[in-house]
Homo-oligomer: A and B are copies of this chain.
Amino acid sequence: MQEMIRVAVDAMGGDNAPDEIIKGAMEAAALREDIQILLVGKEELIREKLKGYTYREEQIEVVNATEVIETAEPPVAAIRTKKDSSIVVGLKLVKEEKADAFVSAGSSGAVLAGGQLLVGRIKGVERPPLAPLIPTEKGVSLLIDCGANVDARPSHLVQFAKMGSIYMEHVMGVKNPRVAIVNIGAEEEKGNALVKETYPLLKECEGINFVGNIEAREIPHGQADVIVCEAFVGNVILKLYEGVGAVLVSKIKSGMMSSLRSKIGALLVKPALKETLKSFDATEYGGAPLLGLRGLVVKTHGSSKAKEVKNSIIQCVTFKEQRINDKIKENIVREEG
């Protein structure tokens, strides 16, 4: 019998739960027979929704969780008190090796804190980074770290570079990924204390293709595949990307509506423009993995629709098939030993 890849899915998390989450999970299951989905959340509700689908029974399991952690709740407290929430129950499935991975569109803070508190780190990993994919002119880059642990040390950044490199090579299929560190200039001597200390360590680091500093301006041009930075800077980059993109697109749309002439033009360019903007949308590629844990935790956008959920589940499959955590272990242990 073929080995099943078991992915727990937070059916209650995100703006479009449970409908879009369940839809995405069912689409992933339909794509591959070796995926087993564990839908975590209010059992009765989920079973009701499942009535709308045809599927192989052995692929879909429902795991009851009666509580839901809301986005506004303080994450650590929520993890500690809502023991029967979909996030806590889902993460415990990974910890107890009843699932290989957990996908959630719920509270980022709770997923991050819970991932560390409940699933635990791979031995030798100092900090588990959150590493979203961001769109570029050429495809996507991995931005590592965008998590909740600010004030990182140089050794953390070196581990981020290694883990990010493994992920891009083996999950995203980028050969010999270019690793760069975010800095305020291209020259080696530039930067703040953290970057100045980290630069020589990355330069000496074996097994990664370090290409030096990257200025923020070059990130959208796809000048590196793995963009290393500490979480505060990563968070600013990730959110500004979204903000500038959203404002520009809305400005352009309203610009097109400003005259009759431009309105007619807008009708003609609309289909082509839609395709173009889709190519600048990282959700096409799946969610953000929290790397370095004993198991995989993937955070998808709060606004996730079925497609992002489906892609995130497929991402988990590749992660497992490519034995990413074994590769991280080998790499980190080799370094530490």
Give the contacts of A217-250 with B (CB-CB under 8 A): 217-221, 231-233, 235-250
Contact of A137 with B219 at beta-carbon distance under 8 Å, contacts A231-B184, A244-B241, A268-B264 already known: no
CB within 8 Å of B: which of A241-283?
241-252, 254-256, 258-259, 261-262, 264-273, 275-277, 279-280
B residues less than 8 Å from A137 (CB atoms): 247, 250-251
Q: Are B262 and A191 in contact (CB under 8 A)?
A: no
Q: Are A247 and B184 CB-contacts (below 8 A) given A240-B241, A268-B268?
A: no
Q: A248-B248, A265-B265 are in contact. Are A255 and B272 (CB under 8 A)?
A: yes
Q: How far is the CA of A137 from the CA of B235 in the complex (A)?
A: 21
Interface residue range, chain A: 35 or more
One of B220, B265, B272 near A247 (C-beta < 8 A)? B220
Is the Cβ of A251 less than 8 Å from the Cβ of B239?
Answer: no
Partner of A243, one of B219, B243, B259, B272: B219
Instruction: Given A137-B251, A262-B272, check contact A221 B243 (CB 8 Å).
Output: yes
A335 → B minimal CB distance (Å):
26
Given contacts A182-B236, A252-B252, contact A246 B220 (CB under 8 A): yes
A256 to B261, CA, bound (A): 16
Most chain B CB within 10 A, of A218, A232, A264, A277, is at A232
Contact of A220 among B233, B240, B256 (CB under 8 A): B240
A4-34 CB contact bits vs B (8 Å, 1 = yes)?
0000000000000000000000000000000
Check A150 for interface membership: any CB of B closer than 8 A: yes
A interface majority secondary structure:
helix
Identify which of residues 266-303 in chain A touch chain B, using a CB-to-CB cut-off of 8 Å: 266-273, 275-277, 279-280
- Residue A151 CB within 8 A of the other chain: yes
- Chain B residues lying within 8 Å of A217, measured Cβ to Cβ, are 239-240, 242-243, 246
Bound-complex Cα distance A238 to B236 (A): 11
Residues of B within 8 A of A243 (CB): 216-221
When C-beta atoms are compared, the residue in chain B nearest to A267 turns out to be B265
Contacts known (A192-B151, A193-B151, A261-B268); A236 close to B248, Cβ less than 8 A: no
> A191's contact among B150, B215, B277, by CB below 8 Å, is which?
B150
A262 touching B256, Cβ below 8 Å:
no
A191 to B148, CA, bound (A): 9
A255 touches B273 (CB 8 A): yes
A-B contact sample (6 more), CB < 8 A, given A220-B248, A252-B273, A262-B269: A150-B184, A182-B236, A216-B243, A248-B248, A248-B249, A261-B271
Q: A residues near B, CB below 8 A?
A: 136-137, 148, 150-151, 182, 184, 191-193, 195, 215-221, 231-233, 235-252, 254-256, 258-259, 261-262, 264-273, 275-277, 279-280
Nearest 8 CB-CB pairings of A with B: A265-B268, A255-B276, A265-B269, A262-B272, A217-B239, A216-B239, A150-B192, A216-B240
29 CB contacts below 8 A, A to B, read A137-B247, A150-B184, A151-B193, A184-B232, A192-B232, A217-B246, A218-B243, A219-B243, A220-B243, A220-B244, A220-B246, A233-B233, A236-B236, A236-B237, A248-B249, A251-B279, A255-B273, A256-B269, A258-B276, A259-B272, A261-B268, A261-B272, A262-B268, A265-B266, A265-B268, A265-B269, A266-B269, A268-B268, A269-B269
